[in-house]
A and B are shown apart, each in its own frame.
Chain A
Amino acid sequence: MNFSDYAPGRFYDELIASSGLPREGAALLVDQIGGLPDGDLRRRQEAAELVLLNMGITFNVYGDDAGAEKIMPFDIIPRVVEAHDWARIERGLKQRIQALNLFIDDVYHDKRIIKDGVIPAFVVASASGYREACVGLRPPSGIWCHVTGTDLVRDESGQFYVLEDNLRCPSGVSYVLENRQVLKRTFPQVFGASHVRAIDDYPDRLLQSLRFLAPEHIPSPTVVVLTPGIYNSAYFEHAFLAQQMGVELVEGRDLVVVDNLVMMRTTQGLQRVDVIYRRIDDDFLDPGVFRADSALGVPGLMDVYRAGNVGLANAPGTGVADDKVIYAYVPKMIEFYLQEEVILPNVQTYLCWDDDDRRYVLEHLDELVVKTANESGGYGMLIGPHSTAAEQADFAQRIKADPRNYIAQPTLALSRSPVIVDDHFEGRHVDLRPFILYGEDVYVMPGGLTRVAMRKGSLVVNSSQGGGSKDTWVLATTAQESDHA
């Protein structure tokens, strides 16, 4: 099995520059794969899948195969990111996260960006993640978004764009770490020779960032991960991160507020909790403040937070910046707060609340991708070129009924990367979700989740829509290499 008859077509390919010719950073990998005996690659793929199954990184199948468990689709051919590309991504993400953080802090305090007319007030107030209860909150060190997973895509020229900011509870980092473990077993020689940057210290850095949030006078803070429970689709990740950090994994029912402190119920009685890495949405955090019917959260938690007696990551209210209409303003935020030029551009975005934009969108529904402003997971989307006239008519209705809630973007020719299909390679569209930690400083994990639309021609990479993943190899520069030596 080799790449001799693999053609990138009109798309930018992450591994192959043109028929049979690998990109510089992928040369070693492509060469080694081409040299494997017949059937060897398939065996490695199967071995990798078995490892994932045994590790229990699975989801349940309903219907005919009830009881059967399947792994998330995983392709062993890694995606390679060259050092110079990565350098730009890293700088761009740091810039973006700082601007977003300043924005969140601003909208819950002075609202300068609104007063100065950069963003209309109604856009902020109507963002689904905006929480009136968070006005005036002062999170430790003014940091709101401690953990972010930003989705990047590449067009046919190879240019990287930001597609989405995920500042609530972005998931996927456990797959990044586990995929790497699997790939080290699958391609030990190539991996060793390729100067791939290490990502294994992520849990350690996450723990550091979380400890940084503890109330100041606590010398050895107790950190916990708060999960909705084993039936949550990201439960594996919650347990994985807690285990890797060596902290307790708690559910809402394990926590209780006593004397304005958060306590967990242990076998030795109640024990104080100082920092909560919460993997439940704002709405469910505290039934006294947000959704009253939530059984997942902790009554009284927000009072403790306001009193500065517990740290929360991410801070409540960060979801305001997850809104896809707010997203469109991030380049302006960067100019407004940092007075810098944007390093990583946005994808061109039409805002349907704007009359001119809306007219354009309605006339070009068959070309554009329309997204609901507050949905995630690949739901609430219209992919124009792949849609029927009836679907377009439906979206036209929806847009007219609630223009604020819709945006549209050109249908991107997303970059592709080869995946194994039976006995040959085929190109599949990919995106990239790097993870960013904001603690004492901003850290961008050198790697990220490469999500793959496993269905031929599909542009939707979300795991809830049949997407899979790949390991992401960020290559080291010579300087970084010698740092490690």
Chain B
Amino acid sequence: MLSRAADAIYWMNRYVERAENIARFIQVNLHLSLDQPMQMRTDQWAPLVKVTGDYERFVAGNGEATQESVIDFLTFNRDYPNSIISCLDRARENARSVRQIISSEMWQQINTFYLMVAGVHKGIALEVPDDFFARVQMACHTFTGIMSATMSHGEAWHFGRIGAMLERADKTSRILDVKYFILLPQVQDVGTPYDNIQWSALLKSASAFEMYRKRYGRIEPRDVAAFLILDPEFPRSIHYCLLEVERSLHLITGTPSNTFGNEAERSIGRLRSGLVYTDIGEIIDQGLHQFLDGLQAQLNAVNGAVSQSFFPINPTVST
């Protein structure tokens, strides 16, 4: 397929995945803040912006992080490239440029989805935010479902899958990184109902609460980290996402697994096998933050390698 089209499908899926993650983070935070003592509710919102890695930009333009300012920034701000509306805008423009490759159903879903968010009355959306953010998440899932059910799982589909999985791994690592450090130091709270609510909220931010319960039962910080990083079956754990990226890459190139034919396969293979041969004790001893920081850098490297290997802007022409 065309390199430019592969690039567009990759980003279309990344942006949809990003929009879904942001909507989920906001919705979980809304619920969480309702359970908090009144004076602490506002403290809840700055970390959410920190998850995006764009906290400085937020402060410069908005000042204090309140529920209203954060939701507005992350949802409706068109000047902020990672807001939900900006993500959907770019997802749709990417979709538009590959309409001949994606199915009509996919195009219609992304188009109506964008129009829904662009046309919503901000005041009304924020009055019943739960409903609005639930609709955003559901529209993202619908898109992914339609894509799975109406588009051949060939090269183009796998590029989309790689985009979504890299984005998801990145977002899971970020929410874990930010929340873990807010939650851990509060030693006095350990084991209290409040503490439980907080850790549950972290799991819910990754849609992981129910599946975690089935796997571990009791909520323990270590186990939460282990689940979100290392579980090979939960679809939002970092390990799972990397397995999927690797699988899609090898299906695209036809390179046998456990070997590599290009830099993308090499970087993902190295990163993924690192996760297989570690455990949570080792990660925590090393320092969770350092570990996640390194992981995010490696995810960026994979992203760069995928671009280099498949979507070069000016590929060298061999004559």
Contacts and interface: CB of A to CB of B under 8 A. Distances in A.
Contacts of B112: 54
Interface in A236-259: 239-240, 242-243, 247-251, 253-254, 256, 258-259
A254 B101 CA distance: 15
Contacts of A56: 96, 107-108, 111
A133 interface: no
B36 interface: no
A69 B311 CA distance: 31
Given A239-B99, A243-B99, A53 B115 contact: yes
A266 B111 contact: no
Given A56-B96, A67-B118, A248-B100, A254 B111 contact: no
A277 to B, nearest CB: 12
A265 B96 contact: no
A243 B99 CA distance: 7
Contacts of A243: 99-101, 104
Contacts of B4: 251, 253-254, 265
B319 A265 contact: no
Given A256-B317, A258-B319, A267-B1, A242 B115 contact: no
A315 interface: no
A54 B111 contact: yes
A250 B104 CA distance: 18
Contacts of B1: 248, 266-267
Interface centre among B4, B100, B112, B252 (most CB of A within 10 A): B100
A421 interface: no
Nearest to B313: A253
B6 interface: yes
B317 A54 contact: no
Nearest to A239: B99
Nearest to A253: B4
Interface of A is mostly: mixed
Interface in B84-119: 93, 96-101, 104, 107-108, 111-112, 115, 118
A55 interface: yes
A67 to B, nearest CB: 7
Interface size, A (range): 20 to 34
Contacts of B263: none
Interface string B1-37: 1111110000000000000000000000000000000
Interface in B302-319: 310-311, 315, 317, 319
A243 B98 CA distance: 9
Contacts of A69: 115
A230 B2 contact: no
A265 B310 CA distance: 10
Contacts of B100: 225, 239, 242-243, 247-249
B3 A267 contact: yes
A176 interface: no
Nearest to A269: B315
Interface string B156-176: 000100000000000000000
A453 interface: no
Interface size, B (range): 20 to 34
A266 B2 contact: yes
B121 to A, nearest CB: 14
Nearest to A235: B96
A250 B2 CA distance: 8
B111 A258 contact: no
A430 interface: no
A270 interface: yes
A264 interface: yes
Contact of A267 (B98, B104, B310, B317): B310
A267 B252 contact: yes
Nearest to A242: B100
Interface centre among A69, A243, A251, A258 (most CB of B within 10 A): A243
A250 B98 CA distance: 10
A270 B108 contact: no
A69 B155 CA distance: 33
A265 B3 contact: yes
A249 B99 CA distance: 9
A54 B310 CA distance: 32
Interface string A46-64: 0000000111100000000
Contacts of A235: 96
Contacts of B111: 54-56
A445 B311 CA distance: 39
Interface in A262-279: 264-267, 270
A242 B2 CA distance: 13
A265 B2 contact: yes
Given A242-B100, A243-B99, A55 B108 contact: yes
A427 to B, nearest CB: 33
A123 to B, nearest CB: 40
B317 A270 contact: yes
Interface string A135-176: 000000000000000000000000000000000000000000
Nearest to B118: A67
A248 B101 CA distance: 8
Contact of A240 (B98, B99, B155, B317): B99
A267 B155 contact: yes
Contacts of B104: 55, 243
Contacts of B310: 267
B116 to A, nearest CB: 10
Contacts of A55: 104, 107-108, 111
B317 A264 contact: no
Contacts of B5: 248-249
Contact of B2 (A53, A240, A248): A248
A225 B2 CA distance: 13
A269 B97 CA distance: 20
B305 to A, nearest CB: 14
Contacts of A225: 100
Interface in B279-317: 310-311, 315, 317
14 contacts: A54-B108, A54-B115, A55-B108, A225-B100, A229-B97, A230-B96, A235-B96, A239-B100, A243-B104, A249-B98, A258-B317, A259-B319, A266-B3, A267-B155
Interface of A: 53-56, 67, 69, 225, 229-230, 235, 239-240, 242-243, 247-251, 253-254, 256, 258-259, 264-267, 270
Interface of B: 1-6, 93, 96-101, 104, 107-108, 111-112, 115, 118, 155, 159, 252, 310-311, 315, 317, 319
Top 10 A-B pairs, shortest CB-CB distance: A242-B100, A239-B99, A243-B100, A249-B100, A56-B111, A267-B310, A267-B6, A265-B3, A54-B112, A230-B97
Given A243-B100, A267-B3, A267-B159, 13 more contacts: A53-B115, A56-B96, A69-B115, A242-B100, A247-B100, A248-B100, A249-B99, A253-B4, A254-B4, A258-B319, A266-B1, A267-B310, A270-B317
